[in-house]
Amino acid sequence: MKLSAAVPTPPKSKLPPVFGQAIEYESGAREVAHTHPRAQLLYATSGLIRVRTPAASWVVTPNCAMLVPPRVEHELEMVGKVGFRTLYVDPCPMCGNEGRLLPVNGLLREAILAMVREPARTREPGSLAEVLTHLIINLLTAAAPADEMPGRLPIPQHPRLQRICQELIDAPANSDSLDHWANRFGASSRTLARHFQRETGMPFAKWREQMRVSEAMCLLSTNTPIDKVAAYLGYADTNSFAVMFKRVLHMTPLKYQSMMCAAMLVA
């Protein structure tokens, strides 16, 4: 896969409060771990963006955006051909300390697309860029966090738990129980369960399901056949996978796949 460094930005003192950038990425392209001195809004007009921070892994779809706070390390991987649109925002009082997903409605989408067409320079009073700046700040401030969306997968900080999680991410069909992992690492299952809940905010079984949903979102967006997705994730049949997927995402895998394909066409 292609690796690329983060795109440099002009000196902070010479930048307006909000400016944008547009890049077309091929599937599999990556941006190595990096930080920015100001907040970054990540949005994809097509394809998906996988974002990894020290605290979580995220899947950014065309119906949401991710707000990354200043100086938070993050790396990116593109799933499918990605129409990458990003805004750099300073100040960003709505950021918080960790990245978060925000729903993107039609107005915010058009504001993002318009802003990336504006040059990154000082804006004249009353200019389109200044109007867009105020609009975007207001929309981001008013947007309710979309953390209930299944695009966020928390990453534990304990090395032992991180190793378990990484092995499951590398082999999503793995169905080993917590007892198995406890025996393997010489700990009690109750201890692992307690630490897992404390560090991720969810039980082990829920985390594994969330991980599989994140993988499914990426695979379906690249038009992978649903039966192959189900098998890759360890489901005995397509129906079992579809029931789980609909319960979590409130739509069938086929509907999700169709929605992602439609997003590719209108991007």
Q: Could you read off the pLDDT tens digit of each residue along the chain, which spans 267 residues?
A: 445 555 555 455 578 999 999 999 999 999 999 999 999 999 999 999 999 999 999 999 998 999 999 999 999 999 999 999 999 999 887 887 888 899 999 999 999 999 999 887 767 788 899 999 999 999 998 887 765 667 899 999 999 999 999 999 999 999 999 999 999 988 899 999 999 999 999 999 999 999 999 999 999 999 999 999 999 999 999 999 999 999 999 999 999 999 888 776 555
User: What integer pLDDT is reported at residue 58 of this predicted model?
Assistant: 95
pTM, entire model: 0.88
Query: Last residue of a domain, which of 86, 115, 142?
Result: 142
171 and 218 co-located in one domain = yes
- Domain match, 121 and 56 both: yes
128 and 24 share one domain: yes
Q: What is the pLDDT of residue 150?
A: 75
The answer to whether 69 and 39 have CB atoms below 8 angstroms apart is yes
| Residue 50 belongs to some domain of the structure | yes
- Same structural domain, 237 and 212: yes
Is the residue at 124 inside a domain?
A: yes
Examine the fold and report which residue of 92, 117, 142 is the final residue of a domain before the chain moves on. Answer: 142
Go through 144-154 and write b for each residue having 16 or more CB atoms within 10 A of its CB, e for each that does not: eebeebbbbbb
Provide the β-strand partners of residue 60.
49
- The residue type found at 8 is P
Of 94, 109, 142, the last residue of a domain is 142
**Within a domain: residue 132?**
yes
Task: Report the chain's terminal Cα–Cα distance, integer Å.
Answer: 23
Which two structure tokens, joined as six digits, stand for 157? 């900080």
Does residue 161 share a domain with residue 135? no
Count how many domains the chain has: 2
Angle at 100 between CA 7 and CA 63, to 5 degrees: 85
Beta-strand pair 30-34/3-4? parallel
CATH code (residue 246) = 1.10.10.60
Q: Are residues 162 and 244 in the same domain?
A: yes
Residue 13 lies in a domain: yes
The Cα–Cα gap between 51 and 59 comes to 6
Full domain range(s) for residue 171: 157-266
In-domain check, residue 147: no
Q: What is the pLDDT of residue 206?
A: 96
Alpha carbon separation from 81 to 77, 88, 156, 217, 241 (Å, rounded): 11, 22, 30, 15, 26
On whether both 129 and 176 belong to a single domain, the answer is: no
**Same-domain status, 55 and 174:** no
